[in-house]
Structure 1
Amino acid sequence: MKKVVSVSLGSASRDHKVYTEIYGHKICIERVGTDGDIEKMVEIIRELDGKIDAFGLGGMDLFLIVNGKKYVLRESEKIIKHAKKTPIVDGSGLKGTLEKQTLRYLQANGFNFKDKKVLLVCALDRFGMAEELLRLGANTIYGDLMFSLGIPIKITSIKTLSKVANVALPVIRHLPFNMLYPTGAKQEKSLEKYRKVFNWSEVIAGDFHFIKKYLPFNLTEKTIITNTVTSKDVEILASRGLKTLVTTTPELNGRSFGTNVMESVLIALNEPNQKLDYEDMLKKVDFKPRIISLDQVKRQNRGLSHG
């Protein structure tokens, strides 16, 4: 049996483990949160190195890519060096392929992005998604300054985003990751902020932890395109009126895992010593986005409450 483990800087309350079969292989997929404890992440990686097929690096990025230029995050680099035998990935290799495919799949199945008002909460860790939204003609706001740095300035063009990235990333990559991204218990806290930009949007896209951190109480008629949601998250989104939830990664036992987990799955399934062709492997495993009508979830919840 193949085994992959995502070692995450995030909350342990979101831990999950499933046994499934993908592309004819039985596989165990486990997510282990460390509540923001980097030393614990290192300890787990050292303990499992060489004993499993692939690691996922969760709750943080190893690097950010903008216009083909790669910026390695120093804190992540220090962590992954402890995986000496087992490959470790952060999902970046998969995002550029899988998330573009998800948007194309939605477009081909009746969801027209032309002139759609889209809030992409952080484009720098999903530059492929940002490029595809531009290609599809969406009216996109890039929330990187707001959601990552707490600066209440919205970016409205990918050219401006690239300029900001070229100036800021050489500095940002040296910062502790918990200054840029909700980690540990912060992933479970929510405060309503940036209400205007949320109200403006018809589609909210990107990392779910950023979305959840500032989740508005009213999501009526909106669509969220994200990943890494639990059944509890789905219930919260339904209670706030969300119309449609799309996860770019498939559902496995009621849970959509992060791209780092699914990339580690592809690494584990790939032939040894062979370069991973993401597009080819995605065709083989036939990953499809999960599309949930939250109206159905709301009706089910009402039925349970009256039962």
Structure 2
Amino acid sequence: MSLRKVVSVSLGSSKRNKTVQAELLGQQFEISRIGTDGDFGKALATLRELDGKVDAIGLGGIDVFLYVGEREYAIRDGLRLMRAVKKTPVVDGSGLKWTLEREVVHHLARETDILPPGTRVLMVSATDRFGMAQAFIDVGCETVFGDLIFVLGVPFRIRTIRQLSILARLLLPFISKLPFRLLYPTGKKQDIQDEKKARKFAPFFEGMDVIAGDWHLVRKYLPLDLKGKIIITNTTTKADVDLLRERGAGYLVTTTPEFDGRSFGTNVLEGVFVALIGKPWREIPREEYMALLKKLNFKPRIVQLNQPRENTSLSG
């Protein structure tokens, strides 16, 4: 059996590097993450070195495409990285965010007691996970989108998909051209939490049952007290889980499956899917991703960390 290799090249910290092997649908995979500590030049060099030598490449620690409704917005720095790869399929996880993460929310609402109607949800950023954002609305959650707060530092809560869409049309054409490091923690910044900022932003977390969205944005502004709160995010390490447990979080839900004790980012999993399907990612419709998800029977990982909020329990 030939070994297929999928590598995530990330602008994130190299401390989070990991290599695992997994068998999916009879195919043996070696799945790796290579962090470049925020060094854009090193990321470009690593991508060029891997090009043509692996089965698929994921771009981690950065977005290439953002989708709000049916509109697509491209991040300039992300495109520079993607275009450095000429032979190997390269993805950023946006295709799976739209399908996998939307389905995770519906699964939690349908199969567990974690997301009853009226659950108060704070999404730290919805423009990079619009499928998840729409799903929270669809299942009846009272959802606040924190894109302006946690990405731009503007203390304004977005409360509807319509508001989000209008702001995206106005702002994303300009924001997408900024250096990505100004918008999102990269490199060593992913390992550091500014407690002063955590206290400053704590009021936005108060009264919320669920904190959802990209882990590095969540971690950057994580309140010191998470008593009973549910965290729904993408990729976590053992140290991340320990941090949430220490701060009193009730449940941790990760949207991607666990391999060898670690959940990887959507860009890694989308790289695996592209390798399994065997088509250019632009030619893969969302329905094909959904069909593969069902075939693999992927379910969110749900970990109880501490006593959750009252009347919350798993029923499926």
Q: Give TM-score scaled by structure 1 length.
A: 0.94
Paired with 2:181 and 2:279, the residues of 1 have a C-alpha distance of 35
Equivalent residues in 2 for 1:1-307 (5 A)? Answer: 1-111=3-113, 112-191=115-194, 192=198, 193-272=200-279, 275-276=283-284, 277-295=288-306
Quote the Cα distance in structure 2 between the aligned partners of 1:197 and 1:117: 12
Give the Å deviation of 1:272.
4.9
- Match of 2:306, SS? helix
Specify the alignment match of 2:314 in structure 1. none
- Given that 1:113 and 1:133 are in contact with CA atoms closer than 8 Å, whether structure 2 keeps it comes out as no
SS of residue paired to 2:121: strand
TM-score, normalised on structure 2? 0.91
Asked whether the 8 Å contact 1:7–1:44 carries over to 2, the reply is yes
**2:122, 2:211 within 8 Å by CA — same for their partners in 1?**
yes
1:44-92 Cα deviation digits (max 9, x unpaired)? 1111101100000000000111110111111111111111000100000
- Counterparts of 1:168 and 1:79 in 2: how far apart (Å)? 22
**CA-CA distance at 1:287 after TM superposition:** 1.4
- RMSD of aligned residue pairs (Cα, Å): 1.3
When residues 27 and 152 of structure 1 are mapped into structure 2, their CA distance, relative to the original with a 3 A threshold, is same
CA distance in 1, matches of 2:263, 2:105: 17
How many residues align structurally?
296
Give me the whole-angstrom Cα distance separating, in 1, the residues matched to 2:301 and 2:258: 6
Deviation of 1:250 (Å): 0.7
Residue identity (%): 49
Name the structure 1 match of 2:313: none
Gaps of 5+ in 2: 308-316
Q: Is the 8 A contact 1:60 1:76 kept in 2?
A: yes
Q: Give the whole-Å Cα distance in 2 for the aligned partners of 1:23 and 1:101.
A: 21
